[in-house]
């Protein structure tokens, strides 16, 4: 959540910044009004408590002096004030709950460097990459054998079985077979090995408590897109970002230990209720997928470098895999609720002739750590750490891009040699 003290000090600046995201000033004003009322009620309740305490002292003095009548009179006044204090406290708690609900719904303040715009059409393409471009090669041309959708290739080779997946769990839950399954494992190990030089590998649970989900901003904002296990008050994680952000919830870190870099391979689950009927073919949009996450706790001064490192690693993997991609700078209105600045990487897939997002690399300022209460010891005391994360990478769409891009005229798929060590030296996928 954003800094409420900042909102109180600079309401106009905050409203102007949030307007870049399409946030109505009325939404901000509602929070400000509730906050003012809450603080007034707390002051009223505190003043009444002080009066009750003073009257209680007077009751004791009167009775000790033998003035029972005066003591009873003051006691009655104290009782009436006590009733008022309890009512004011109850009202303060009620309005405080409103303040928290409104505060949680308010998105992060976008970075001044994020482009202006309110929709994905206004995102800014910064650059593209494809094999050989540094030697002057043009963007790849693709043969008819590569202009085949990955779901058809997967079915033909027996490595993707969407029908069985749907029969087991419903639509948009893919089932991989044989070499298709091995390819997923290979990609995960390939990425973890690439990040092992600087990132500690974590194997977190695949479920999270409500407070863990709230720390990243996935709740309450995106509740409809999450899978809930209501009986146990647990949620299936939508991304490794969720557990990694709360790894040090409620703790104070040493500044010398920052940046603290973590990576995790996780199963991710998203209902994506708002995407019903959109991009549902094959692996374009699925409810369960595998991903390797890169994450950093850092100081504000380290945030730019931390984001640049994660972005460079994600791009480096795409280049090793030889997949053409483009880099987008997301406009303020297309940022995720918790993000202040996000860069998206999209790979080109010839079979479906689409650019598909495979990584979002985001800086969250202290929006998440204010919820999770993760701090570090600074010279002036303690301060909230900043968080940065990104996929390195998400595999469903990478899987699709690989089988389409590297399909051969004979129908086999010859994968990049960099994956051979992870595929028992057999980087070619063929029908069995």
Catalytic residue IDs: 270, 285, 357, 360, 397
157 forms beta bridges with: none
381-384: strand order across its sheet: 252-254, 375-378, 381-384
3-state secondary structure of 61: helix
CA distance 400 to 422: 18
Asked if residue 367 lies in contact with residue 217, where contact means CB atoms within 8 angstroms, the answer is yes
Note every long-range contact of 21-28, with CB atoms under 8 Å and residues 24 or more positions apart, other chains counting: 21/107, 21/110, 21/118, 21/332, 21/333, 21/335, 22/118, 22/333, 23/106, 23/107, 27/102, 27/105, 27/106, 28/106
- Rg of the chain over Cα atoms, rounded to whole angstroms, equals 28
What phi and psi values does residue 233 have, to the nearest 5 degrees? Answer: 55, 45
Handedness of CA 170, 176, 181, 186 (dihedral sign): negative
**Cα distances (Å, whole numbers) of residue 391 to 225, 239, 292, 293, 299:** 19, 9, 6, 5, 21
């Amino acid at each position: 959540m954003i800094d409420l003290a900042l909102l109180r000090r600079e309401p106009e600046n905050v409203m102007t910044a949030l307007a870049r995201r399409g946030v109505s000033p009325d939404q901000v004003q509602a929070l400000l009004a509730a906050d003012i009322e809450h603080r007034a009620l707390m002051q009223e309740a505190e003043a009444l408590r002080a009066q009750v305490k003073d009257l209680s002292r007077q009751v004791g003095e009167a009775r000790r002096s033998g003035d029972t009548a005066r003591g009873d009179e003051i006691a009655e006044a104290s009782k009436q004030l006590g009733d008022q204090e309890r009512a004011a406290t109850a009202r303060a708690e009620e309005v405080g709950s409103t303040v928290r609900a409104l505060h949680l719904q308010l998105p992060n303040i976008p970075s001044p460097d994020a482009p202006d715009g309110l929709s994905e059409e206004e995102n800014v393409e910064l650059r593209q990459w494809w094999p050989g471009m540094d030697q002057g090669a043009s963007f790849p041309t693709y043969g008819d054998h590569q202009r085949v959708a990955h779901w058809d290739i997967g079915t033909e080779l027996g490595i993707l079985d969407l029908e069985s997946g749907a029969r087991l769990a419903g639509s948009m839950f893919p089932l991989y077979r044989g070499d298709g399954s091995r390819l997923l494992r290979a990609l995960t190990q390939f990425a973890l090995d690439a990040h092992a030089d600087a990132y500690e590998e974590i194997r977190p649970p695949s479920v999270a408590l409500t407070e863990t989900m709230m720390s990243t901003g996935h709740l309450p904002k995106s509740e409809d897109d999450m899978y809930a296990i209501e009986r146990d008050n647990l949620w299936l994680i939508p991304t490794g970002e969720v557990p990694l952000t709360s790894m040090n919830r409620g703790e104070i870190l040493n500044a010398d230990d920052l940046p603290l870099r973590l990576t995790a391979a996780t199963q991710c689950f998203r209902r994506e209720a708002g995407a019903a009927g959109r991009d549902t073919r094959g692996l374009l949009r699925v409810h369960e997928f595998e991903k390797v996450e890169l994450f950093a706790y850092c100081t504000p001064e380290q945030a730019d470098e931390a984001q640049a490192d994660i972005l460079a690693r994600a791009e480096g993997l795409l280049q090793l895999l030889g997949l053409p991609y483009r880099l987008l700078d997301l406009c303020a209105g297309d940022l995720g609720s918790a993000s202040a600045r996000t860069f998206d990487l999209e790979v080109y897939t010839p079979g479906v002739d689409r650019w598909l997002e495979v990584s979002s690399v985001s800086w969250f300022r202290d929006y998440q750590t204010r919820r999770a209460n993760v701090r570090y010891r600074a010279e002036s005391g303690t301060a909230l750490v900043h968080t940065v994360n990104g996929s390195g990478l998400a595999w469903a769409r990478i899987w699709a891009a690989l089988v389409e891009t590297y399909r051969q005229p004979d129908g086999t798929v010859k994968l990049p040699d960099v994956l051979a060590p992870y595929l028992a030296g057999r980087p070619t996928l063929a029908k069995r």
